[in-house]
């Protein structure tokens, strides 16, 4: 089995829940995928990092994303990039600025102004979280150049992100989850 198929297998086995849920955007859905169950596991962290790193442009010097879903992703990509001699820094974007000390929104190594950043997510639904990370990374003086996610739920997020001039690179989309078959079981 190849890496892409194996990561999908892990996500379906461990992350996918078919039940009524409320999403981050306030929308209702009949399924949820909790990627952290996979991205915080040894094999899942490695496979996510490997598959995403293959798609990161050579001019990029950091990967960043909105806490919490992106935290294990940026960390594992950074470690793997070091092992591969590439050395991508990890940036974690807070949902609210730190209230004392640095007062920062964006945590991580201080990079040169204008450094190119690939912005990552675990799931894109409305696209609001990914755009929030893009905006905060830009406000920190860096240049977001790519948008990547594990799963595109195909609920309009891609279009919203494209309107902002980014194409969304997703490892999987809704159709990969086999939801119709699962729901029938």
Ligand X SMILES: O=P(O)(O)OC[C@H]1O[C@H](OP(=O)(O)OP(=O)(O)O)[C@H](O)[C@@H]1O
Ligand Y SMILES: O=C(O)c1cc(=O)[nH]c(=O)[nH]1
- Minimum distance from CB of 33 to ligand Y (Å)? 4
Q: Is 117 annotated as a binding residue?
A: no
Binding of ligand Y by 179 (CB under 6 A)? no
Tell me which DSSP letter residue 175 carries.
G
Nearer to ligand X, 88 or 130 (CB): 130
Q: Whole-number minimum distance, CB 123 to ligand Y, in Å?
A: 4
Q: Give the binding-site size for ligand Y (rule: CB under 6 A).
A: 11
53 contacts which partner out of ligand X, ligand Y, none, CB within 5 to 8 A by kind? Answer: none
Residue 21 annotated as binding?
Answer: no
Residues in the chain: 185
- Cα of first residue to Cα of last residue in the chain, in angstroms, is 24
Q: Which of 6, 18, 32, 145 binds ligand Y (CB under 6 A)?
A: 32
Q: Which one among 24, 84, 167, 175 touches ligand Y, defined by CB under 6 A?
A: 24
Q: What are the Cα distances from residue 91, in Å, to 4, 65, 163?
A: 25, 7, 24
* For helices 3-10 and 42-53, angle between their N-to-C axes, nearest 10 degrees: 130
CB of 126 to ligand Y, least distance (A): 7
Q: Is 51 in the site for ligand Y (CB under 6 A)?
A: no
SS3 of residue 109 by DSSP? coil
CA distance 149 to 46: 15
β-strand pairing of 32-33 with 28-29: unpaired
- Indicate the annotated binding residues for orotate: 125, 153
- Indicate the annotated binding residues for 5-phospho-alpha-D-ribose 1-diphosphate: 94-95, 98, 100, 121-129
């Amino acid at each position: 089995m190849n890496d892409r198929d194996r990561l999908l297998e892990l996500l379906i086995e461990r992350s996918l829940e078919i039940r009524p849920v409320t999403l981050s955007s306030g929308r209702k859905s009949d399924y949820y995928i909790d990627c952290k169950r996979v991205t915080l596991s040894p094999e899942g962290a490695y496979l996510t990092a490997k598959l995403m790193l293959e798609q990161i442009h050579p001019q990029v010097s950091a990967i960043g994303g909105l806490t919490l879903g992106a935290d294990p992703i940026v960390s594992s990509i950074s470690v793997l990039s070091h092992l591969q001699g590439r050395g991508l820094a990890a940036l974690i974007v807070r949902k609210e600025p730190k209230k004392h000390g640095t007062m920062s929104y964006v945590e991580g190594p201080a990079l040169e102004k204008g450094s190119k950043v690939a912005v990552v997510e675990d799931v894109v639904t409305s696209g609001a979280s990914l755009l929030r990370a893009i905006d905060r990374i830009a406000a920190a003086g860096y240049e977001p150049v790519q948008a990547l996610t594990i799963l595109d739920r195909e609920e309009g997020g891609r279009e919203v992100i494209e309107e902002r001039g980014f194409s969304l690179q997703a490892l999987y989309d809704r159709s990969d989850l086999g939801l119709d078959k699962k729901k029938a079981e």
